[in-house]
Amino acid sequence: MKAWIFPGQGAQRIGMGEALFAAFPDQTAAADAVLGFSIADLCLAGPMERLTETANTQPALYVVNALAYLRQLNEVGTPPDVLMGHSVSEYVALFAAGVVGFEDGLRLVARRGALMGEARGGGMAAVLGLDAAQVEEVIQRHGLTDVFAANYNTPRQIVVSGRRAAVEAAEPLFLEAGASHYRVLTVGGAFHTPFMQPARDAFAPFIADVPLAPPRIPVLSNVTARPHADDPESIRARMIDQITAPVRWSDSIRYLLAKGVTFADVTEIGPDGPPVVKPMVKRTELEAGALSADELAREDAPPAPVEPPKPPEPAPVRSAGPGVSVERLGSRAFREAFGVRHPYVSGAMYRGIASVDVVVRMARAGMLSFFGTGGLSIDQVRAAITAIRAAIPAGAAFGVNVLAHVNRPQLEEDMVDLLLEQGVRVAEASAFMEVTPALVRYRARGLVDAGGGRVEARNRIMAKVSRPDVAAQFLSPAPERVVERLVAQGTLSADEAALLRHVPMADAITVEADSGGHTDQRMPFALVPAVLRERDRAQARFPRFGPLHLGAGGGIGTPEAVAAAFMLGADYVLTGSINQCTVEAATSDAVKDMLAGMNVHDTAYAPSGAMFELGSRVQVLKKGLFFPSRAEKLVSLYHRHERLEDIEPALSRQIQDKYLRRSFADILSDLKDSLPADEAERAERMPKHRMALVFRRYFQDTSHWAITGDLARRVDFQVHCGPALGAFNQWVAGTDLEDWKARHVDGIAERLLDETAALLGRRFSALVGA
């Protein structure tokens, strides 16, 4: 009697499936279509931090294990007598048994992984040396209501799961009871416990629509440790139960042993490498042996799984003072309008540094995040939107950045076309000094007459501004001259034009104080109140439209800064620089190492590569870098000379050899082939414009070198960053967040909000006492 078994979470490794993806191109392409990203890239290139996220690990293991099964079947020609998969890999066993199709199984696993990946505050630990009765006795004797036995892997290797703090605190109790080892696992959820009830509830309607068939090969259930029934509805119920029920792997092995399966009859199928679950067969055989005849008799009538015990009552609302809790920070209306849990937003960072991973992580945590589109092609942004949608729960909030292009408005139009094509409902408008036709089109396409004089905007705009007069434009209807021109061009209908007159251009205004990247270096204590008054006046003009929201960004990196923003009247806060130094940010480890070591005073203002002719400036990291001074030198030369040939020969050689590491002629030759026709013509007849284009290449390259981590050009890295990150580094010094490899965008958000509530509680208590 042959048994094929599949390993679950923990078996993943970089490089897994390398030979399988090429061997099964149709299934690999189907997996990519379901997931919205390349499964081969994830498994072969990682990085490991991404592969080990539950939402990615589970579908990756499903695909690799399923393809490994197909390879095994091709090689041996005969299917096994019984199948078994550990936890998530039970879905692989069901696929192998013909219960579910490959793509439907992957959809189920991707949804399961996404839901389980949303769990926060949980933990798991492996207990070695105690049997099931002893583990459960420790839990009972010490009243560990937040800890449950979750995985019975072998008779004396049991994983406990629950609230992370409770799991960590339980270590001495299990060691005192005789455990030989107690190892806390690197997971963030209390898997296979009642704490996963929200995931179970959300998964049930999803699996209800997926067709299942009777198994062609017996599959052992993790829940009952007995074969699944032939009834598909019973299988469906057990797979829902599996999310909260413990994994009875040891009992499943003992069942196989009782049926005559030996260690030699078991084949582990999964990622190439050392076996993970087959050794558990030998351990179980040595420690407990097969089920007895009485135990095996339960096969004919396996017990229905006991309804999982209800988790303990939720902890009281987090509060650290009179009337202060995380739930009461900021604006409830903002949370409801944008469909988020917290009044906290992570803003866009150019060239996709505010990456797919950043947006997905925040969306799964119930917070709004914007993908950074600056410097990316339309195809790159389209691919990012597809990947985000595939990885987040249906209806989860996310947004995409629309960057102003003063000299190339067609780039704005192209981005808006993409957002409308993709149905992206939230846009962050950045660096706009006035409302442009592209933004008006985006706004108009989402307007709906709700009756009774009310107009609803389905396409929401969050405008990032640093001047009250610009805020006033976004808090007003679309400019009439722009609307009339778009109607005359046939771009807007008369009905859309009429609706535009009844709504402001933006739903939310983010007041951007001194920040990383483009900045006007404004003080929030002057700027926020001024824009707040503009918002209040606009609200009075549009009483039927709904609340208009105001947020604060720039300098937000500590609980004190967040508290100050909310006390000034902000409905939400927006963070930027601190998110650049996280696992999810799409910049190099070299940059993250530098950022993790910076202080508040380690930034400088440098010319903007995009608009240095206009005097625009960006805030960048200066510690250990030549970029700020070299950028200033280039702009100084641009203002002093009319053409490249006028620069002093020795200085010209220095710039080409040290700054650009290329000749002016080489750069001009490259530009000739890549510039639009009108731009090429302008460069041909205007020597000063040619000089601007050559110097701009330095700005472009310095960003590229930083993002890719080109250590040969380390001193020239251009890293946009504000002092908020320096303040954040000082705040987390000596804590688990000191190392950037432990920083995750959602974890930072939760920590900041928790500590802000605690801080305000202490301050209010002090005021009351005074």
pLDDT in tens, 575-603: 999 999 999 999 999 999 999 999 999 99
The C-alpha atoms of residue 536 and residue 526 are separated, in whole angstroms, by 16
SS3 assignment, position 151: strand
Is the pLDDT confidence value at 306 over 90? Answer: no
Handedness of CA 514, 520, 521, 522 (dihedral sign): negative
Decide if 68 contacts 275 (C-beta within 8 A): no
How does strand 447-451 pair with strand 454-457? Answer: antiparallel
CB 610 within 8 A of CB 695: no
Amino acid 350: pLDDT: 85
Within 13 Å, how many C-alpha atoms sit on residue 513's CB side? 24
Radius of gyration of the chain, Cα coordinates, nearest whole angstrom: 29
Which class does domain 3-118+195-300 fall in?
alpha beta
Position 764 confidence tier, pLDDT thresholds 50, 70, 90: confident
Residue 298 binned pLDDT confidence (cut-offs 50, 70, 90): low
**Dist. CA 85–CA 243, nearest whole Å:** 14
Per DSSP, the three-state class of 670 is: helix
CA distances from 622 to 221, 349, 660, 716, 719 (A): 58, 18, 19, 10, 8
- Alpha helix (H) residue ranges in 711-744: 724-732
pLDDT band at 52 (very low <50, low <70, confident <90, very high): confident
Mean pLDDT within 621-641: 95
> For 120-190, CATH number?
3.30.70.250
List C-alpha distances in Å: 631 to 138, 146, 606, 618, 655.
65, 57, 7, 11, 11
User: What DSSP designation does 645 have?
Assistant: G
Give me the half-sphere count of Cα atoms (radius 13 Å) on the Cβ side of residue 591. Answer: 31
For residue 769, what pLDDT is reported?
63
Find out whether 597 and 729 touch, Cβ atoms under 8 Å. yes
Distance CA 399, CA 347 (A): 9
* Mean pLDDT confidence for 487-492: 95
User: Has residue 513 got a pLDDT over 60?
Assistant: yes
pTM: 0.61
Residue 41 · residue 127 · CB < 8 Å:
no
Backbone phi and psi for residue 675, each to the nearest 5 degrees, phi listed first: -75, 145
Fold observed for domain 326-587: TIM Barrel (3.20.20)
Which sequence positions are flagged as catalytic? 87, 192
Distance CA 250, CA 254 (A): 6
pLDDT at 109 over 70: yes
Q: Look at phi and psi of residue 225 and say left if phi exceeds 0, alpha if psi is from -120 to 50, else beta.
A: left
Question: 366 in the Ramachandran plot: left (φ > 0), alpha (ψ -120 to 50) or beta?
Answer: left
Question: How does residue 242 score in pLDDT terms, banded at 50, 70 and 90?
Answer: very high
How far from chain centre, in Å, is Cα 45?
18
Alpha carbon separation from 615 to 180, 608, 635 (Å, rounded): 67, 8, 9
What is the distance between the alpha carbons of residues 475 and 443, in angstroms, rounded to a whole number?
13
The pLDDT tens digits for 413-422 are 999 999 999 9
Q: How far apart are CA 166 and CA 123, in angstroms?
A: 8
- At CB < 8 A and 24+ separation, what contacts does 600-604 make? 600/723, 600/726, 600/727, 600/730, 601/723, 601/726, 602/726, 603/516, 603/721, 603/722, 603/723, 603/726, 604/628
Between CA 377 and CA 415 the distance in angstroms is 9
How many CA atoms are closer than 13 Å to the CA of 189, on its beta-carbon side?
25
Round to whole Å and give the CA distance between 43 and 759. Answer: 43
**Residue ranges per structural domain of the chain:** 3-118+195-300, 120-190, 326-587, 604-718
pLDDT tier, 312 (very low <50, low <70, confident <90, very high otherwise): very low
In this structure, what token pair is assigned to residue 412? Answer: 């704005």
In the numeric block, which tokens belong to residue 518? 């483009």
DSSP string, 568-617: HT-SEEEE-GGGGGSTTSSS-HHHHHHHHT--TT-EEEEE-TTTGGGT-E
The whole-angstrom separation of Cα 197 and Cα 467 is: 47
How many other β-carbons are positioned within 10 Å of the β-carbon of residue 240?
A: 20
**Residues for the chain: how many in total?**
770
Largest CA distance in the chain: 97
Task: Quote the pLDDT of residue 518.
Answer: 73
Does the pLDDT of residue 322 top 70, yes or no? no
Residue 517 binned pLDDT confidence (cut-offs 50, 70, 90): confident
Q: First vs last Cα of the chain: how many Å apart?
A: 79
Contact 35, 28 (CB under 8 A): no
User: Could you write out the DSSP letters of every residue in 415-438?
Assistant: HHHHHHHHT--EEEEES-SS--HH
Percent above pLDDT 90 for the chain: 76
Q: How confident is the model at residue 300 (pLDDT cuts 50, 70, 90)?
A: very low
pLDDT at 567 over 60: yes
Confidence of residue 324 (pLDDT cuts 50, 70, 90): low
Each residue of 698-751: pLDDT tens digit? Answer: 999 999 999 999 999 999 999 999 999 999 999 999 888 999 999 999 999 999
Mean pLDDT, to the nearest integer, of 132-147?
Answer: 93
Say which residues have a Cβ less than 8 Å from residue 568's Cβ, sequence separation at least 6.
524, 525, 528, 529, 532, 552
pLDDT in tens, 19-33: 999 999 999 999 999
pLDDT at 394: 82
Query: What burial class does residue 760 get, using C-beta atoms within 10 Å of its C-beta: 0-12 exposed, 13-18 middle, 19+ buried?
Result: buried
| Tokens (6 digits) for 238 | 């057990």
